Amino acid sequence: MSFGVRYAEAVATRGRLCAGIDPHAALLTEWGLPVSVDGLRVFAQSCVAGIAPVAAVVKPQVAFFEQFGSAGFAVLEETIAGCRAAGAIVLADAKRGDIGSTMAAYTTAWLDDASRLCSDAVTVSPYLGFGSLDPTVAVARASNRGLFVLARTSNPDGEALQNASVVGGGTVAQAIVDAAASVNAESSGTVGVVVGATREHGLDLSALGGPILSPGLGAQGATAADLARIFDGADVSWLLPAASRSILRSGPDVAGLRAAVESTRDEVEKALR
């Protein structure tokens, strides 16, 4: 099945929510865990047990594993495998972006079956030109996996670049959305975009034909009620709100994590009906 079909089946079964696994040092401490590889492993195992069986998409934040070096990557490999075994789509939040053979190598790491880091999808940055993502697009199409391209992020520093005008009119962010739509016209759902939920974005997403990952739900201030307004005009069947800290603060209790995922998902579904 194509990634678009797999995504649609997952959200039809489990609801529209991407739950993040962000083992931030402050959260490890909040959970009573050491800020070490041992603490990281316990944190990740609890998330796999509590989140992966109920969330449609699980998004490990790669940086929080990477900071522990090779041992952290080993925990990430275990986390990816555990989430996939529990039936969740795994989106590696790696935000990779480069050119040529380097981008091809990143693609192999995150989307190739031969890699222990292989996930169902990966976040990528198009700011070396959307064409720099061609190796990732090609592998995603061939392997029925996906990529999520940064378009209109929620950080204030991104506004000057993402809202800059391009030759012929429109903004950089809109050009990225349009390029993603062109890919999806040939392979529906392969390319998603990342558009923050914490403020108005000014994008026309009506022709995207792929998932819209929208971080910012919960701790960053966006509410489920904001979603329908902010994404008015978009096909909300593709909308994938993301929450991390607001869910993770319900840990370390596995049942608490599961309940937080379910209640957040239910709020989203009620708001978007």
- Whether 90 contacts 120, CB under 8 Å: yes
Cα–Cα distance between 15 and 272 in angstroms, integer?
11
Higher pLDDT, 217 or 57: 57
Domain locations in the chain as residue ranges? 3-272
Does 218 score more than 80 pLDDT?
Answer: no
- Kindly state the percentage of the chain with pLDDT values over 90: 85
- Among the listed residues 72, 138, 148, the one whose alpha carbon sits nearest the alpha carbon of residue 103: 138
Cα–Cα distances in Å, from 45 out to 117, 214, 261? 16, 25, 16
Q: Which of 6, 95, 199, 249 is catalytic?
A: 95
pLDDT higher than 90, residue 170: yes
pLDDT for residue 152 is more than 90: yes
Determine the pLDDT at residue 62.
98
Instruction: Quote the pTM value.
Output: 0.96
CATH class of the domain at 3-272: alpha beta
List strand residue ranges (DSSP E) for the chain, in order: 18-21, 57-60, 89-96, 121-124, 146-152, 191-195, 212-215, 239-243
**CA atoms 166, 172, 178, 179: torsion sign:** positive
Task: Give me the half-sphere count of Cα atoms (radius 13 Å) on the Cβ side of residue 167.
Answer: 0
Active-site residue 270, yes or no? no
Per-residue confidence at 199, pLDDT binned at 50, 70, 90? confident
Give me the pLDDT at residue 222, please.
82
88 secondary structure, DSSP code: P
Q: What is the mean pLDDT of residues 51-67?
A: 98
Average pLDDT over every residue of 122-142: 97
Question: Average model confidence (pLDDT) for the chain?
Answer: 95
Q: Any idea which of 31-35, 118-122, 130-134, 152-156 has the lowest mean pLDDT?
A: 152-156
Element holding 47 (H helix, E strand): helix 37-50
Cα three-residue angle 263-268-269, rounded to 5 degrees? 95
C-beta of residue 84 within 8 angstroms of C-beta of residue 109: no
Give the three-state DSSP class for 251: coil
More confident residue, 273 or 16: 16
- Please provide residue 201's backbone torsions phi and psi, each rounded to the nearest 5 degrees: -115, -20
